[in-house]
């Protein structure tokens, strides 16, 4: 079972939370849309799965003031677009924390859920640590600490050199089969700028890419990465650990050269002032991929929703 949590905070008198959960039980897949707003006069989910209808996916308000709608019969290959529509005035709202967005061809954007990205196709946990030659270690070695500092450029990203533009790993630690891992200078293989972290090997390989952040204030954090690659790996996972919750993991599904997609691990906290973030790859001979533009951001700050054009 895989859950994807999307948090939306609306500046104003009340806090609004939007949440999308993708669930799989055997061959059955469903998506539950949630919208928490006690003052909403009504909420519907309009999407390409219901021809953008304002009546077929009416959300039901529970005693907890959360509006819910469950879409059943979802297929692993489905790519769904959606927006929330509020009240009798029919205000169309884009979820700014949607897993992905695409143009709605009307001057706005639709939220998008690529179902296969959130289905666990490989039953494999992220190992605690990896030794040389891919040996799985039960007891992890001590990670060096990276003290975070508030950015001075106005951004929310707490990671320094997120795009590897200085040519180094910027405090990241590599464990496992490290041959074939590098910071590559090639704009054609980068999401932005000139550099990206690249993995490629001509034999089976496993590695962890880790960073332990310290000096964090209590809050709600997200870890985001952009990834692209040839695909076909046994497992590629973005994760976080020791962040106040059980180790959350998001699987990466690479689909080809320059087919960049952002993956986000949400709902992280820093109760002890630190958090370890990372990437795990279990690859076959010939697998390759690139990672770029990593972010670790404090999501506690409220963000204002954007009203979108009606369909």
pLDDT in tens, 130-156: 987 778 888 888 899 999 988 877 788
Q: Most distant CA pair in the chain: distance in Å?
A: 62
Share of the chain above pLDDT 90, in %: 50
Neighbours of 28 (CB within 10 A): 10
Which of 48-52, 137-141, 240-244: highest mean pLDDT?
48-52
Neighbours of 18 (CB within 10 A): 25
Structure-block tokens of residue 210:
């880790």
Q: Does the pLDDT of residue 288 top 90, yes or no?
A: yes
Backbone φ and ψ for 236, nearest 5 degrees, come out as: -135, 120
Using pLDDT thresholds of 50, 70 and 90, give the confidence band for residue 305: low
> Which of 278, 259, 288 is closest to 100 using CA atoms?
259
Higher-confidence residue: 21 or 209? 209
Give the integer Cα–Cα distance in Å for 73 and 112: 17
Q: Does the pLDDT of residue 261 top 60, yes or no?
A: yes
pLDDT tens track for 165-215: 999 998 999 999 999 999 999 999 999 999 999 999 988 899 999 999 999
Tell me, what's the pLDDT at 2?
A: 39
3-state DSSP call for residue 293?
strand
Please answer whether residues 288 and 281 qualify as being in contact, where contact means their C-beta atoms are separated by less than 8 angstroms: no
3-state DSSP call for residue 307?
strand
CA dihedral 35, 39, 42, 43 (to 10 degrees): -20
Neighbours of 95 (CB within 10 A): 23
Backbone φ and ψ for 115, nearest 5 degrees, come out as: -60, -40
Give the integer Cα–Cα distance in Å for 311 and 306: 15
Using pLDDT thresholds of 50, 70 and 90, give the confidence band for residue 119: low
Q: Does the pLDDT of residue 7 top 50, yes or no?
A: no
Tell me, what's the pLDDT at 189?
A: 94
Q: Does the pLDDT of residue 300 top 60, yes or no?
A: yes
CA angle 36, 40, 41 (to 5 degrees): 140
> Which of 194, 171, 193, 175 is closest to 184 using CA atoms?
194
Tell me, what's the pLDDT at 5?
A: 38
Q: Whole-model pTM? A: 0.61
Tell me, what's the pLDDT at 71?
A: 95
Strands (E), 58-108: 60-61, 66-71, 79-86, 91-94, 100-103
Higher-confidence residue: 103 or 25? 103
CB under 8 Å to 78, separation ≥6 — which residues?
49, 113, 115
Quickly tell me which residue has 């910027």 as its tokens.
Answer: 170
CA angle 22, 304, 35 (to 5 degrees): 35
pLDDT tens track for 63-88: 888 889 999 999 888 899 999 999 88
Distance of CA 302 to the CA centre of its chain: 19
Tell me, what's the pLDDT at 153?
A: 74
């Amino acid at each position: 079972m895989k859950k994807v949590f999307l948090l939306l905070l609306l500046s104003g008198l009340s806090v609004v939370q939007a949440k999308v959960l993708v669930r799989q039980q055997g061959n059955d897949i469903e998506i539950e849309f949630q919208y928490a707003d006690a003052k909403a006069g009504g909420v519907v989910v309009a999407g390409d799965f219901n021809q953008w209808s304002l009546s077929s996916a009416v959300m039901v308000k529970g005693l907890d003031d959360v509006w819910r709608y469950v879409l059943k019969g979802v297929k692993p290959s489905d790519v769904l677009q959606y927006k929330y529509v509020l009240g009798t005035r029919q205000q169309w709202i884009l979820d700014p924390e949607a897993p992905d967005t695409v143009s709605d061809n009307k001057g706005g954007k639709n939220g998008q859920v690529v179902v296969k990205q959130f289905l666990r196709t490989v039953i494999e946990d992220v190992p605690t640590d990896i030794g040389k030659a891919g040996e799985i270690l039960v007891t992890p070695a001590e990670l060096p600490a990276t003290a975070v500092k508030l950015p001075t450029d106005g951004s929310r990203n707490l990671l320094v050199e997120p795009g590897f533009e200085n040519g180094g790993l910027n405090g990241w630690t590599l464990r496992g089969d490290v041959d074939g891992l590098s910071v590559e200078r090639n704009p054609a293989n980068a999401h932005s700028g000139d550099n990206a972290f690249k993995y490629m090997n001509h034999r089976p390989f496993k590695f962890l890419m880790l960073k332990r952040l310290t000096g964090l204030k209590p809050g709600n954090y997200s870890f985001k990465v952009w990834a692209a690659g040839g695909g076909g790996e046994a497992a590629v996972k973005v994760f976080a650990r020791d962040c106040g919750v059980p180790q959350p993991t998001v699987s990466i599904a690479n689909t080809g050269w320059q087919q960049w997609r952002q993956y986000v691990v949400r709902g992280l906290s820093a109760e002890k002032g630190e958090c370890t973030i990372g990437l795990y790859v279990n690859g076959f001979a010939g697998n390759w991929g690139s990672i770029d533009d990593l972010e670790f951001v404090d999501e506690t700050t409220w963000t204002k929703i954007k009203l979108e054009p009606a369909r």
